[in-house]
Copies of this chain bind each other. A is one copy, B any other.
Amino acid sequence: MNIETPTAKLTPNDYASDQELRWCPGCGDYAIIKGVHKALADLQLPLEKTVFISGIGCAARFPYYMATYGFHTIHGRAPAIATGTKLANPELDVWVVMGDGDCLSIGGNHTLHAIRRNVDLQLLMFNNEIYGLTKGQYSPTSKVGTRSPSTPQGSIDSPVNACVFALGAGGRFVARTVDTNLKHLPEVLKSAHAHKGASFVEILQNCIVYNDGVFNDITDKTVASDRQIMVEHGKPLVFGKDGKKGLRLKPGLFELEVVTVGENGITDKDILVHDQKNKILATMLASMEDAPFPVAMGVLYCNPAEISYEAAVWKQTAEIVAKAGEVDLNKMLRRGNTWTAA
């Protein structure tokens, strides 16, 4: 076991444990951990106050490779365990790492309630749209028709959109990024960290062995600029090589449409401006999946509550304790009716 001692300034490498990474060569997880190291170094998070908690899966091996505290738990339960850890010690900075199956299949209920309660956790979901560690079965995020060992003739059930689900669960911070975008990913993680409450981040991740290239139609250099829109609060929702494409509300309807500035009378003013506090807009953005729509990347929604769950619990307890004043276990046992036998 390696004993790290905090140095003056922590570099990204200081956040890496001494354990050799065991992901498949070329796995998107390699890029993600790089991005995480960078984000943590940018924030200079103290190693001993940072905890990574994961479920089971390839993604969930993450904690072993971090020089922070880490807990590799059981499949689907990381958000529940992290809730207990955060409630027990709000001082800790708790990051939860889950695969799409971990987070939305077996873990769906805990993810829902961690989000609903608004526990101050960073909930990172590595979405490779497949079960990696169990050798490639389809997952709840797999596209319809996915052929996998458990669906040799193609999957039938429609996938869940992780960000839309998180918003429906009452999420107050919902964001999306891509494994290999090492400029974007650390920034999103830092925003997630800044948000006090449950921060849900979907990270599109390529599984080179069982689902290679599933995101190519979005991430491939040739198409990325047309198929991704980088949303930023207060900035117009534009995309495309030359940034001329944009999103606007179909007149009179609750529907977005893709328009091009300069074409049939569209001007900059027609383009929507991103408001990260608007849940309905966030829902629309999160829902965009198929061309001609781009897939929305960045902080789709960030609308912090007055107080996060664990903070509120500690506040209430503090009030109760104050009200109770001096307590004593012997008094506790003697509250109410008692009598004395001589």
Between A and B, 6 residue pairs with Cβ closer than 8 Å are A116-B140, A116-B157, A160-B170, A161-B170, A164-B170, A255-B280
B157 touches A118 (CB 8 A): yes
Chain B residue contacts of A319, Cβ below 8 A: 153
Q: Is A169 an interface residue (CB 8 A)?
A: yes
Task: Compute how far the CA of A169 lies from the CA of B116 in the bound complex, rounded to whole angstroms.
Answer: 14
Q: Is A191 an interface residue (CB 8 A)?
A: no
Task: Quickly give the copy total for this chain.
Answer: 2
Residues of A within 8 A of B (CB): 105-109, 112-113, 116-118, 140, 153-154, 156-161, 164-170, 249, 254-255, 278-281, 283-284, 287, 305, 309, 312-313, 316, 319-320
A117 touches B254 (CB 8 A): no
A316 touches B156 (CB 8 A): yes
Which residue of chain B is the closest to A76 with respect to CB atoms?
B109
A156 touches B112 (CB 8 A): no
Chain B residue contacts of A157, Cβ below 8 A: 116-118, 309
With beta carbons under 8 angstroms apart, the residue of B105, B158, B313 that contacts A118 is B158
Task: Compute how far the CA of A164 lies from the CA of B169 in the bound complex, rounded to whole angstroms.
Answer: 8
With beta carbons under 8 angstroms apart, the residue of B108, B278, B305 that contacts A112 is B108
Given contacts A153-B316, A168-B169, contact A160 B116 (CB under 8 A): yes
Chain B residue contacts of A107, Cβ below 8 A: 109
B113 touches A140 (CB 8 A): yes
Which residue of chain B is the closest to A305 with respect to CB atoms?
B158
Given contacts A156-B312, A283-B283, contact A165 B169 (CB under 8 A): yes
Which residue of chain B is the closest to A319 with respect to CB atoms?
B153
Task: Compute how far the CA of A109 lies from the CA of B284 in the bound complex, rounded to whole angstroms.
Answer: 24
Which residue of chain B is the closest to A249 with respect to CB atoms?
B254
Given contacts A281-B254, A320-B153, contact A169 B160 (CB under 8 A): yes
Task: Compute how far the CA of A319 lies from the CA of B116 in the bound complex, rounded to whole angstroms.
Answer: 42
Nearest-Cβ distance from residue A323 to partner chain B, whole angstroms? 9
Chain B residue contacts of A283, Cβ below 8 A: 280, 283
